[in-house]
Amino acid sequence: MSLLVVGALHWDVVLRAPRLPREDETLRGSGVTYQFGGKGGNQAVAAARAGAKVSFAGRVGTDDAGMAMRSILDGAGVDVTQLQTGPGASGMSAAIVMDDGGYGAVIVSGENQEFDHDAARLPATCRMVLLQNEMAPGVITAMARKAAEIGADVLLNAAPAQGIGKAELALIGTLIVNRVEGADLLGVTNGALDPAATLQGLQALAPQARIILTLGGDGVVFAEPGGAVRQQPARKVTVQSTHGAGDMFVGNYAAAILGGRTLPQAILTGQSAAASHISQIR
């Protein structure tokens, strides 16, 4: 059984700085790296490295960044047969990683927005379709419906959460969000609700879905459809950078579910992978 990841690819410019700059401020940084990114790409690579059989559907340009990202996916063992190529620029992002490990980022979608979901095909062995929200409107609905036609589960990492409504949520089997995305889906200010209340609100929006709310250092709260809210604490590590932690969680969680793990076991697998990731100096 296999996983199809449908999502964005971004060539990341990652800057290290003591904090985010204020408006009109020029701030001295301490380093820069260029690396593979995009939620779809990161999650596909994470799942493949965790042992899942992964295919990727997305879109890049003909530029050097596009060729590099195609090569990285292929090198991780991801099937790139459905990676489309367009004439424009590949997606990119600029991220600032702060001394405390937090970060802020801006994405420029480029060719990601031109992804042709009508041309995408689900592999015959596909059991799960993993989606995010960094591509053009309509992709989530179109790919979820294709998954339903073959009985594949749909996992949505609603990141970013803007523009996702009940119609999309009714098509998915698992919803994964962090506390900011959960608040956005509910239309409330981040921190206005405690984690249990946030999860219960998300259950009302997506009553047929498993709900997983990630809380960083405070762990994870989760529930089966209609079930009670449960919590798993975080593994304590020294944080170097939280950039990409959510994608590590999602990719490893998906691989664990495909490997037959229970919901709590798969969440623990995702937490362990994310904890290891944020403790590394990159």
Which residues, listed in sequence order, are joined to residue 154 by a DSSP beta bridge? Answer: 129
pLDDT at position 59, please? 98
Nearest residue to 132 via CA among 260, 4, 2: 4
Note down pLDDT in tens along the chain; length 282 residues: 799 999 999 999 999 999 999 999 999 999 999 999 999 999 999 999 999 999 999 999 999 999 999 999 999 999 999 999 999 999 999 999 898 878 888 889 999 999 999 999 999 999 999 999 999 999 999 999 999 999 999 999 999 999 999 999 999 999 999 999 999 999 999 989 999 999 999 999 999 999 999 998 899 999 999 999 999 998 777 777 777 789 999 999 999 999 999 999 999 999 998 888 877 766
For each of the domains in the chain, give its residue range(s) and CATH number, in order of start.
2-8+37-91+110-157+235-278 (3.40.1190.20)
pTM, full prediction: 0.92
Local structure of residue 240 (DSSP, 8 states): S
Q: What is the pLDDT of residue 238?
A: 73
Q: Name the DSSP class of 234.
A: P
Query: What values do phi and psi take at 279, rounded to 5?
Result: -90, -5
Output the pLDDT for position 105.
85
Cα(179)–Cα(226) distance, rounded to whole angstroms? 20
Which of 218, 234, 230 lies closest to 262, judged by CA?
230
d(CA 72, CA 158) in angstroms, rounded, equals 24
Q: Give the integer Cα–Cα distance in Å for 206 and 100.
A: 34
Give the other-Cβ count within 10 Å of 279's Cβ: 15
DSSP string, 18-87: SSPPPTT-----SEEEEEEE-HHHHHHHHHHHTT--EEEEEEE-SSHHHHHHHHHHHHTT-EEEEEEE-S
**Cis peptide upstream of residue 160 (ω within 30 degrees of 0):** yes
Burial of 6 per CB tally in 10 Å (0-12, 13-18, 19+):
buried
Asked if 60 and 83 touch (Cβ cutoff 8 Å), the reply is: yes
Q: Which two tokens stand for residue 251?
A: 């990719």
pLDDT (0 to 100) of residue 282: 60
